[in-house]
Structure 1
Amino acid sequence: MGFDLESVSEATSGAIGALVSTTILYPLDTCKTKYQAEVRAQHQQKYRNISDVLWEAISTRQVLSLYQGLGTKNLQSFISQFIYFYGYSFFKRLYLKKSGSKNIGTKANLIVAAAAGACTVIITQPLDTASSKMQTSEFGKSKGLWKSLSETTWTEAFDSLGISLLLTANPSIQYTAFDQLKQRLLNRRLKRESAKESAPEALSAFSAFLLGAVSKCIATSLTYPAIRCKVMIQAADEDEDGIEQAPLKNEKTVLGAIYAIWKREGPLGFYKGLQAQILKTVLSSALLLMIKEKITKTTWVLMIALRKFLFITRTRLKNA
């Protein structure tokens, strides 16, 4: 029961952190996604850089449209992070209990993180697809969540499932790097004698922010070509000018996305928007992990209080 309680605490803290970081950085995320989704030869590109997307929103008086799809993105982020952190914490504690080890090794950490990521992707893929479509729609013409889902077949909703499963390597690399760096940092501190249900040791806000930024930067750089392909596959088939952005209308596949990028943008096209991706994801991840670390102890205390309350209530009901 002990590791279950801490798993719920970790999941709740991670989900709240994701909700806050997603909301704060959403305009940047929208600009980044629209920029990534455009696949054209250089002389035909509407967006030369990510700032062009922001300027379009300002010049057309559609600044609020930078938040189109925020509700869907927040729902997807909250659910996915809760599932991910719960699965990651649960399987990690289960591994430590079965193996009798005090710390989890890098290989085992990668496997645990990948398994948690795969479960998360399968459950939240339709929301992820809907969110991407809403973000890449023309400013002011984004459809709501339910309309987007109703107009999308199950096959289309899971179009990028394969590449999303491949991208589970991203959080696997990120959280493995974060956990290993965190363990080394905490091991340097003096060990305090803990009670049976003492809260887990937490990093300072600055340390969590720094380690989160470093770990996410590593993961993003290694997996960016797959991220770019995923955005293309999920984006609308045609842009607002009626021009197909990629030969994906009848064949939304990884090979189709790779072919489109290679033909229209060349090898460097696989890294188009990398700086914006790193800026957004590093800030988002760092904020998420910083918030999670700071509220984990509070969440832990609330979980213990809730469990004691439920125990007392059951006891009184039995004795009544």
Structure 2
Amino acid sequence: MSKLTPFGNATAGALGALSANLAVFPLDVIKTRLQVQTKELKSLSPDQHYESALDAFAKILKTEGITGLYSGLGAGLFGTVASAFSYFYFYSYVRGSYQKRVPGDISTGMELILGAISGAMSQICTLPVAVVTTRQQTSAKDEKLSFVGTMQRIIHDEGPAGLWRGLQASLVLCVNPAITYGSFERLKTLYLLRIGDTTGRLSAGQTFVIGALSKALATVVTYPYIMAKVKMQWKPPKHVATLSQKDRDAVTYKSSIDILQKVFKKEGLAGWYNGLQPQIIKAVICQAILFVCKDQFGAWTLMLFAFFAKAKKARSVALPGN
């Protein structure tokens, strides 16, 4: 993968992320709905209050059909490709630029810093798509709009700044991919050293396991802010106006810190991890598949580049006068 340009790495990463997220998208819908549900809204929307991930799956399937498990699929996949492409592009560019200036091995700390910088640049560019996806995944059946319609509604109701709701939490969460990729590189290096492998490459199975472990660690560490980000991007249903002022205040949030404080006050530490099970299953499977697919797509990209280079050389030799 080191021979690929930032564009090549970005393309491989985006294709890998697309494949992974398409496979686990229903889990994304389930964990998002679990993250935004509140006790105050239970009486108003009993069909959208879930006791567990399995209960959410059954209720969504019963009330909305299979399409309910794929709410926001178009926006979600577009956001996945855009986020993965921009992250891998920025990561390859930033990491490559650093290595040119500071030759030699990169420490774990610096890997995390480079990953965080890349993640911040990616989040700023792609956050509007994530906001639209969250709104589509959590909207009641009679309130669902298209991607463009949802974006227009956000701008109309909240102004352009509404498309960047949750930016504070998103920037904090830049440590998530930093921890993931930093852990992956470190675990990969330690594993290869332990088995005495000098090729620098892992098999698909080894990549899957190390990728899963890396993402599990990052998810557990950053989950409270993952939940806070989704709650910031979510909009309470229109019938929230029928609640008492106290209950309306409980589901209205000013910032990610405000969310963490309110959730902790009502539900304790467990509230910070509501929806963790589907989140970690989705994140681990998705990230592990991403690592495997990214390497495979990277290998195919290198083969494609080599093929075109060979074809170009053959045409050049065949031209008259050569």
Structure 1 pair 89/249, CA: closer, same or farther in 2 (3 Å)? same
Q: Deviations over 1:230-266 (max 9, x none)?
A: 1111112227776778648865311331233134323
Note if contact 1:247-1:256 (Cα within 8 Å) is conserved in structure 2. Answer: no
State the Cα distance separating 1:6 from its structure 2 match. 3.2
CA distance in 2 between partners of 1:305 and 1:203 (Å): 24
Residues 75-114 of structure 1: pairs in structure 2 closer than 5 A = 75-101=78-104, 103-114=105-116
In the alignment, what sits opposite 1:132? 134
How many residues align? The count is: 309
Opposite residue 129 of structure 1, the aligned amino acid is V
State the Cα distance separating 1:309 from its structure 2 match. 5.9
SS of equivalent to 1:151: helix
In the alignment, what sits opposite 2:285? 283
CA distance in 1 between partners of 2:176 and 2:248 (Å): 25
Note if contact 1:80-1:120 (Cα within 8 Å) is conserved in structure 2. Answer: yes
State the Cα distance separating 1:170 from its structure 2 match. 0.5
Percent of counterpart pairs with the same letter? 30
State the Cα distance separating 1:300 from its structure 2 match. 1.6
Relative to the length of structure 1, the TM-score reads: 0.86
Opposite residue 9 of structure 1, the aligned amino acid is G
**In the alignment, structure 1 residue 170 sits paired with structure 2 residue 176:** yes
Gaps in structure 1 of 5+ consecutive residues? 193-200
Q: Deviations over 1:87-135 (max 9, x none)?
A: 212222222222120x211111011101110010000000010001111
CA distance in 2 between partners of 1:88 and 1:5 (Å): 13
1:191 corresponds to which of 198, 201, 212: 198
CA distance in 1 between partners of 2:251 and 2:66 (Å): 29
In the alignment, what sits opposite 1:123? 125
CA distance in 1 between partners of 2:196 and 2:273 (Å): 40
CA distance in 2 between partners of 1:243 and 1:18 (Å): 41
Structure 1 pair 256/190, CA: closer, same or farther in 2 (3 Å)? closer
**In the alignment, structure 1 residue 253 sits paired with structure 2 residue 255:** yes
CA distance in 2 between partners of 1:132 and 1:299 (Å): 33
Opposite residue 136 of structure 1, the aligned amino acid is T
State the Cα distance separating 1:43 from its structure 2 match. 8.0
Q: Deviations over 1:141-191 (max 9, x none)?
A: 521111111111211111111110000011100110001112233444443
Structure 1 pair 4/146, CA: closer, same or farther in 2 (3 Å)? farther
Opposite residue 106 of structure 1, the aligned amino acid is T
CA distance in 2 between partners of 1:316 and 1:104 (Å): 45
Structure 1 pair 107/38, CA: closer, same or farther in 2 (3 Å)? same
In the alignment, what sits opposite 1:71? 74
CA distance in 2 between partners of 1:252 and 1:314 (Å): 63
Opposite residue 127 of structure 1, the aligned amino acid is V
In the alignment, what sits opposite 1:195? none
CA distance in 1 between partners of 2:97 and 2:254 (Å): 38
The two structures, once aligned, show a CA RMSD in angstroms of 3.0
CA distance in 2 between partners of 1:208 and 1:28 (Å): 22
Moved more, 24-33 or 258-267: 258-267
Moved more, 271-280 or 298-307: 298-307
CA distance in 2 between partners of 1:4 and 1:297 (Å): 10
Opposite residue 219 of structure 2, the aligned amino acid is T
Note if contact 1:41-1:264 (Cα within 8 Å) is conserved in structure 2. Answer: no
CA distance in 2 between partners of 1:63 and 1:311 (Å): 51
Relative to the length of structure 2, the TM-score reads: 0.85
Q: Deviations over 1:255-283 (max 9, x none)?
A: 33123313432332111111221111111
Structure 1 pair 313/38, CA: closer, same or farther in 2 (3 Å)? farther
State the Cα distance separating 1:39 from its structure 2 match. 2.1
Residues 1-320 of structure 1: pairs in structure 2 closer than 5 A = 5-40=4-39, 46-101=49-104, 103-139=105-141, 141-153=143-155, 154-187=160-193, 188-191=195-198, 201-238=200-237, 247=249, 251-306=253-308
CA distance in 2 between partners of 1:176 and 1:160 (Å): 24
CA distance in 2 between partners of 1:239 and 1:309 (Å): 60
State the Cα distance separating 1:8 from its structure 2 match. 2.3
